[in-house]
A and B are shown apart, each in its own frame.
Chain A
Amino acid sequence: MRKKRVLIVEDAPYMREMMVEMLNHAKDRYEVVGFATNGKEGVEKYRELKPDLVTMDLVMEEMDGIQAIKKIKQEDPNALILVITAMDTPENRNMAMEAGADGYLWKPFTINNLLDVLERMFGKDKSGW
């Protein structure tokens, strides 16, 4: 089976680093193909790389995650987007869901939490909610 190509949109370097480490533990399934540090860059990288999945932070400079999700989904309704955020409030969840996010993971999380949600998103239901 072809490896799933992942784009990480996240402004904190240590978070990007840690996620790469985590995905390395499942490198037979996932491959990190690029990074973006804000929403705007995320949209551009998506166009360029056409990844199988995007992990999306919500609070970022330039363009926030919610806007980026909307933009990507508008250009490619089949895009798979996983929201990863520290802001676990009902309002944030609703906003992410309405923008079209396909999954939701809140910080802090373990490697198992991350791999679990990815598996579900690439599974039958295509949903990480």
Chain B
Amino acid sequence: MIERGREKERDYFLRILDIIEETVFVIDRDLRILDLSKGCLNRFIPHIEREKVIGKRCYEGLWGMGEVCEGCPVSSVFEKGEAARTERFFSLPDGTNRYFDIEWIPVFDEHGEVIRVIGDIRDITKRKEAEEKLAEIVDGSSIPTFVINNEHKITHWNTAVESLTGLKREEVVGTDRQWIAFYAEKRPVMADLIADKAPASKFKDWYGDKYKMSSLIEGAYEAIDFFPMMGGEGKWLLFTAAPLKDSEGTVIGAMETLQDITERKEAEEELKNAEEQCRTIFEHVLTPLCLIEEDDTISTVNKEFETLSGYSREEAVGKKWTEFVAPEDLEKVMNCYHNEKKEELPCCGFKFVGREGDITDVKVSIEHIPRRKIRVASLMDLTKLKREEELSAICEELKELDDMKKNFLNAAYHELRSPLTPIVGYASLLKCDELGDKQRDYVSNIEKYAEQLKGQINRMLELARIDGGEIAMTLEDVSISGIVNDVVKSFKPLWNDKEQTITTHAPEGIVVRGDKQKIIAIFTNLILNAIKYTNEGGRIDIMVEDRGEDIRVCVADTGIGIPEKHLPKIFERFFMVNTSLTRKSESLGLGLSIVKEYVKLHGGRIWATSEPGKGSKFFFTLLKKEI
């Protein structure tokens, strides 16, 4: 009964084999072929007759080999009862080479024993050939390229992508870690999205606006992005991912190519900078410039051109350049305009017509840029240039004059002072002899005027040294009230003689960081002037005011005063209010100019107010801290 049942079951099974189109065969524990399906015979192994292979071992009957295939999993399927798979290359007896994917499925009896194994063969030769071809293409390509399958596993990773990413194929092939080459965190690369047939929204999620559909390859996308992780300073990559499809059009993976465009990007950046620089120069150069299109219209002008022409940029743009040329010069400029000799820039002078019809003499040079079909006209305002040249010549002359003056002063000082020595010396010798009263008076006069001359010469020298920047400041803390009192006291014989009243208002404790000798000279000069120019019985007030940062001093007298028109000039060198021959005071007019320089050396300023007949007020300030 059991046997018959089995037979029945077997018959049933074999009958199925006879009719099914699948390419399957059945083997027993000894690898002997028990049966083959119709499909197996018809389609797959047409040269084999069923009777000739039944009972043979599969390696002989099917593949025509002398011994069991290397790594045959069949015995393990019998033992473990688990399905297995073989994917390998076979050279068939008919001389064809095939790649087969064979699935080994165990068939159990009622006791759970494996009694036979079904081999389900699929011919994957075409797929394998395609894969090999792809590998050949990818590996042979100098473009960094990698391929993933639809399970996101990397199948190809070529040498070029190795050197771009620094990742060896052994490290990544077979894994789905393509992201580590580009990103710090796990995320899909473009090939992953392609392999998933992801909708556009996904691309947007991951690439924002940087991606676009490829115009060359259907279903492919490309993008440009910066990868800060890559190659030390980061890289700009242009990457394109395209789907890989099998013969039925099913997506089986994706291929992504990469292009390192860092240098190009940097060059673009540099170009952008250069353009910006050009624009800045164009705008800010002190030369009127305009760009002229092929049709003779002006396409842009710079600020200087606006100034020269009187037109705003908006007004000037679109005008023909000929509108700016006086009719009589048009032919000349036209010749220059069309002269395209390479050796030298064509240039010529002409009368430039501005907005109001105003004429300016200019010189123009015209550079033709054939590649961009434009001309750059740069203009030179000759009137302005001439004026500037004249001014600079005058400046030069003045400087020479000033140098001459300085040299003269220096020389004069030495030449004037040398004869003074014997005058003073011999006058003093003369006094050693017996002299009458009259003679003694004469000698005193000689000495007095020699002394005055010495003072003048010394002041001249001082100014020459100030001009030469040879004045050194010896800084110390100077008590102002002390100086005021000392100076006033030292002139007591003078103001006592003239019965003048001097009041001082100088709070004690005001200290200025400055050059004591020069500050003394400032006070001496102003107070002495006040005494000199104030009549008998007049009064002089000296006020010192502490203003925090600086002090302000006022020396006021009730003297003859200074006419208003002279006030701005009194601190100038050699200036004297009274130039009449009958003047009472003797001076070369150098005193106040030295005072002014000394005040300036102390970071202060000096000025005066006056009412002729009523008196003058001299003010000056001194910084309390050194400058």
| Interface residues of A, Cβ cutoff 8 Å to B | 12, 14-15, 18, 21-22, 25, 86, 89-91, 107-113
Pick the residue among A86, A90, A91, A111 that contacts B425 (CB under 8 A). Answer: A111
3 closest A-B pairs by CB: A110-B428, A108-B424, A107-B421
Nearest-neighbour CB distance to chain B for A25, whole angstroms, equals 6
B:445-486 near A, CB below 8 Å? 450, 454, 465, 472, 474
A18 to chain B: which residues have CB within 8 Å?
421-422, 425-426, 429
Q: Which of A21, A22, A110 has the most CB of B within 10 A?
A: A110
| Interface residues of B, Cβ cutoff 8 Å to A | 414, 417-418, 420-429, 432, 450, 454, 465, 472, 474
Interchain Cβ contacts under 8 Å between A and B, 27 examples: A12-B418, A14-B422, A18-B422, A18-B425, A18-B426, A18-B429, A21-B429, A25-B429, A25-B432, A86-B421, A90-B474, A91-B472, A107-B418, A108-B421, A108-B422, A108-B424, A108-B425, A108-B450, A108-B454, A109-B425, A110-B425, A110-B427, A110-B428, A111-B429, A111-B432, A112-B428, A113-B428
A107 to chain B: which residues have CB within 8 Å?
417-418, 420-421
Nearest-neighbour CB distance to chain A for B394, whole angstroms, equals 34
What residue in chain B is nearest A108 (Cβ atoms)? B424
A128–B426 Cα distance when bound, in Å, is 22
Nearest-neighbour CB distance to chain A for B444, whole angstroms, equals 12
Pick the residue among B414, B418, B421, B465 that contacts A109 (CB under 8 A). Answer: B421
A14 to chain B: which residues have CB within 8 Å?
422
A113 to chain B: which residues have CB within 8 Å?
428
What residue in chain A is nearest B517 (Cβ atoms)? A90
A112–B425 Cα distance when bound, in Å, is 9
A22 to chain B: which residues have CB within 8 Å?
425, 429
B420 to chain A: which residues have CB within 8 Å?
107-108
Pick the residue among B417, B429, B472 that contacts A86 (CB under 8 A). Answer: B417
What residue in chain B is nearest A19 (Cβ atoms)? B425
A110 to chain B: which residues have CB within 8 Å?
424-425, 427-428
A10–B301 Cα distance when bound, in Å, is 74
What residue in chain A is nearest B432 (Cβ atoms)? A25
Pick the residue among A15, A21, A108 that contacts B423 (CB under 8 A). Answer: A108
B429 to chain A: which residues have CB within 8 Å?
18, 21-22, 25, 111
Nearest-neighbour CB distance to chain B for A62, whole angstroms, equals 19
Nearest-neighbour CB distance to chain A for B428, whole angstroms, equals 3
**Are A15 and B428 within 8 A (Cβ)?**
no
A18–B430 Cα distance when bound, in Å, is 12
**Are A15 and B421 within 8 A (Cβ)?**
yes
**Are A111 and B428 within 8 A (Cβ)?**
yes
A50–B142 Cα distance when bound, in Å, is 100
B432 to chain A: which residues have CB within 8 Å?
25, 111
Q: Which of B420, B429, B450, B454 has the most CB of A within 10 A?
A: B429
Interface of chain B, main secondary structure: helix
What residue in chain A is nearest B424 (Cβ atoms)? A108
What residue in chain A is nearest B423 (Cβ atoms)? A108
What residue in chain B is nearest A84 (Cβ atoms)? B421
**Are B428 and A86 within 8 A (Cβ)?**
no
A85–B429 Cα distance when bound, in Å, is 19
A86–B474 Cα distance when bound, in Å, is 22
B427 to chain A: which residues have CB within 8 Å?
110
**Are A90 and B428 within 8 A (Cβ)?**
no
B454 to chain A: which residues have CB within 8 Å?
108
A25 to chain B: which residues have CB within 8 Å?
429, 432
A91 to chain B: which residues have CB within 8 Å?
472
What residue in chain A is nearest B428 (Cβ atoms)? A110
A14–B418 Cα distance when bound, in Å, is 10
A55–B504 Cα distance when bound, in Å, is 46
A91–B474 Cα distance when bound, in Å, is 12
Nearest-neighbour CB distance to chain A for B435, whole angstroms, equals 14
A90–B417 Cα distance when bound, in Å, is 18
Nearest-neighbour CB distance to chain B for A74, whole angstroms, equals 29
A18–B420 Cα distance when bound, in Å, is 13
Nearest-neighbour CB distance to chain B for A42, whole angstroms, equals 19
Nearest-neighbour CB distance to chain B for A64, whole angstroms, equals 15
**Are B424 and A109 within 8 A (Cβ)?**
yes
Given A25-B432, A108-B422, A109-B421, 19 more A-B residue pairs with CB atoms under 8 Å apart are A14-B422, A18-B422, A18-B425, A18-B426, A22-B429, A25-B429, A86-B418, A89-B465, A90-B472, A91-B472, A107-B417, A107-B420, A107-B421, A108-B417, A108-B423, A108-B450, A111-B425, A111-B432, A113-B428
A15–B419 Cα distance when bound, in Å, is 10
A111–B474 Cα distance when bound, in Å, is 32
Nearest-neighbour CB distance to chain B for A94, whole angstroms, equals 11
Nearest-neighbour CB distance to chain A for B106, whole angstroms, equals 117
Nearest-neighbour CB distance to chain B for A111, whole angstroms, equals 5
B472 to chain A: which residues have CB within 8 Å?
90-91
**Are A15 and B422 within 8 A (Cβ)?**
yes
A108–B426 Cα distance when bound, in Å, is 10
B450 to chain A: which residues have CB within 8 Å?
108
Nearest-neighbour CB distance to chain B for A8, whole angstroms, equals 14
A15 to chain B: which residues have CB within 8 Å?
421-422
Nearest-neighbour CB distance to chain A for B315, whole angstroms, equals 65
A89–B106 Cα distance when bound, in Å, is 122
A89–B417 Cα distance when bound, in Å, is 14
A101–B426 Cα distance when bound, in Å, is 26
A14–B422 Cα distance when bound, in Å, is 7
A12 to chain B: which residues have CB within 8 Å?
418
B422 to chain A: which residues have CB within 8 Å?
14-15, 18, 108
A90 to chain B: which residues have CB within 8 Å?
472, 474
A21–B428 Cα distance when bound, in Å, is 11
A112–B424 Cα distance when bound, in Å, is 11
What residue in chain A is nearest B427 (Cβ atoms)? A110
A113–B450 Cα distance when bound, in Å, is 16
A64–B472 Cα distance when bound, in Å, is 24
Nearest-neighbour CB distance to chain B for A37, whole angstroms, equals 16
What residue in chain B is nearest A24 (Cβ atoms)? B429
Nearest-neighbour CB distance to chain B for A67, whole angstroms, equals 20
What residue in chain B is nearest A112 (Cβ atoms)? B428
Nearest-neighbour CB distance to chain B for A90, whole angstroms, equals 7
A109–B454 Cα distance when bound, in Å, is 11
Nearest-neighbour CB distance to chain B for A85, whole angstroms, equals 10
B428 to chain A: which residues have CB within 8 Å?
110-113
A86–B417 Cα distance when bound, in Å, is 7
Q: Which of A15, A107, A112 has the most CB of B within 10 A?
A: A107
A91–B427 Cα distance when bound, in Å, is 30
